[in-house]
């Protein structure tokens, strides 16, 4: 019996539908594999090379899901999608820069989670951590930032802006920069943050005059803690990456200011820091004051010179102990400017008496006598 035209059309339609159903099930994503091995830019002995890295906690490579971190495009955006080919030996190779950046970021976060566990703070930050990429972050002039990153304490989220190709290493591949941002999360839970400052832009002149001194004391403490936070975050970046110049790889403009590979700088006295604080003004518009990073770098260099040649994991223990002590100090001095820049170095000396002579040498004469006496007692 011959088929009519209508019957033939029906057969073709049925065949097409069957074909689509069959194919949608047989073409399962190739990258849904537990603990995949991925070829990534990876730092070893202070240099970046392509290395095969196992992502031990990864559940789905394609949607970048794992127990350590969850990603979104923008703060409230969708999950990013990763594209990778699979070589005959089973190793995945990212096929676009975004996928390479994301996988590298996950691999670094996984190693940072292991470091947290090793130094006993793994329980402090519930996992998976929240990470946002291509985040819209604006500066004080409402201009969108690029090649930048921040830890958002309110959202408990590490946020990366978009990357603009300038011949630098993307921050999402820079092991030191990723560790730096992760450290801010640790600092946020280990050290109580000062009460947020009142917005001064809408204050009247008489209000400013009445509040000036109190406001400057608040600013002193906020900025001193920020300097400690930034300095120790750079130390954490060096601990994780072994690269003392990691900032320069992605942000050459900040490279010299934040390098941990230069001559030791004496730690400022409270008076010096207070003078910079006053000079910056009552209602500063810039959020990233260089003098805060300058003091932070003094702390970073102190660590690098004191512990640079040693295994880096014990140094991570020292940093965590220092944060715990800092928390106690802040609770003992609830107001004003009793905290001084030398406090961090004094605490470090108490924890590591063998480093006392060196640590005394990097303080200004005014701060040296007290530490000398403390070290003498300890030794």
What does the binding site for other proteins look like in residue numbers (CB under 8 A)? 5, 8-9, 12, 15-16, 19-20, 23-24, 26-31, 39, 41, 48-50, 62, 73, 80-81, 83-88, 93-100, 134, 163, 165-170, 173
Closest approach, Cβ 66 to other proteins, in A, equals 19
> Please, which residue, 22 or 207, has the CB nearer to other proteins?
22
Closest approach, Cβ 135 to other proteins, in A, equals 13
How far, in Å, CA of 12 to CA of 8, rounded?
6
> Please, which residue, 94 or 231, has the CB nearer to other proteins?
94
How far, in Å, CA of 103 to CA of 75, rounded?
19
Quick check: 75 and 157 in contact, CB under 8 A? Answer: yes
> Please, which residue, 168 or 329, has the CB nearer to other proteins?
168
Interior/surface letters 116-149, b for 16+ CB within 10 angstroms, e for the rest? beebebeeebebebbbbbebebeeeeeeeeebbb
Closest approach, Cβ 142 to other proteins, in A, equals 23
Closest approach, Cβ 62 to other proteins, in A, equals 7
Nearest-10 Cα torsion for 294, 296, 299, 304: -90
> Please, which residue, 39 or 158, has the CB nearer to other proteins?
39
Quick check: 353 and 367 in contact, CB under 8 A? Answer: no
Angle at the Cα of 279 (from 275 to 280), degrees rounded to 5?
120
> Please, which residue, 102 or 235, has the CB nearer to other proteins?
102
Quick check: 99 and 83 in contact, CB under 8 A? Answer: yes
Closest approach, Cβ 256 to other proteins, in A, equals 19
Tokens read off for 301? 């260099």
> Please, which residue, 78 or 122, has the CB nearer to other proteins?
78
For 234, half-sphere exposure in the C-beta direction (CA atoms, 13 angstrom radius) is: 30
Closest approach, Cβ 188 to other proteins, in A, equals 29
């Amino acid at each position: 019996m011959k088929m009519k035209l209508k019957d033939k059309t029906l057969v073709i339609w049925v065949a097409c539908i069957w074909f689509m159903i069959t194919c949608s099930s047989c073409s399962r994503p190739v990258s849904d594999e537990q603990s995949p091995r991925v070829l990534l830019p990876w730092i070893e002995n202070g240099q970046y090379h392509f290395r095969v890295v196992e992502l031990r906690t990864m559940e789905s490579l394609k949607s970048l899901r794992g127990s350590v971190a969850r990603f979104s495009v923008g703060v409230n955006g969708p999950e990013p999608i990763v594209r990778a080919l699979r070589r005959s030996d089973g190793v995945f190779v990212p096929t676009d820069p975004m996928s390479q950046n994301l996988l590298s970021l996950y691999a670094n976060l996984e190693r940072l989670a292991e470091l947290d566990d090793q130094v006993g703070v793994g329980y402090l930050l519930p996992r998976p951590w929240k990470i946002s990429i291509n985040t819209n972050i604006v500066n004080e002039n409402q201009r969108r930032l690029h090649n930048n990153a921040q830890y958002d304490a309110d959202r408990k989220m590490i946020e990366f802006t978009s990357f603009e190709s300038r011949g630098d290493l993307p921050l999402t591949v820079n092991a030191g920069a990723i560790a730096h941002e992760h450290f801010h999360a640790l600092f946020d839970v280990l050290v109580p943050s000062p009460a947020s400052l009142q917005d001064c832009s809408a204050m009247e002149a008489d209000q400013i005059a009445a509040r000036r001194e109190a406001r400057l004391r608040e600013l002193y403490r906020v900025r001193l803690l920020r300097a400690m936070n930034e300095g120790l975050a750079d130390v954490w970046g060096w601990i994780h990456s072994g690269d003392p110049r990691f900032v320069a790889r992605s942000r050459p403009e900040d490279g010299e200011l934040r390098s941990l590979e230069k001559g030791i700088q004496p730690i400022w006295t409270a008076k010096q820091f207070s003078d910079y604080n006053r000079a910056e003004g009552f209602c500063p518009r810039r959020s990233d004051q260089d003098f805060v990073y300058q003091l932070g770098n003094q702390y970073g260099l102190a660590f690098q010179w004191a512990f640079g040649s040693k295994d880096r994991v014990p140094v991570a223990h020292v940093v965590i102990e220092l944060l715990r002590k800092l928390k106690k100090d802040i609770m003992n001095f609830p107001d004003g400017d009793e905290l001084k820049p030398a406090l961090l170095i004094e605490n470090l000396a108490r924890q590591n008496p063998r480093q006392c002579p060196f640590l005394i040498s990097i303080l200004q004469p005014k701060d040296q006598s007290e530490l000398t006496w403390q070290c003498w007692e300890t030794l």
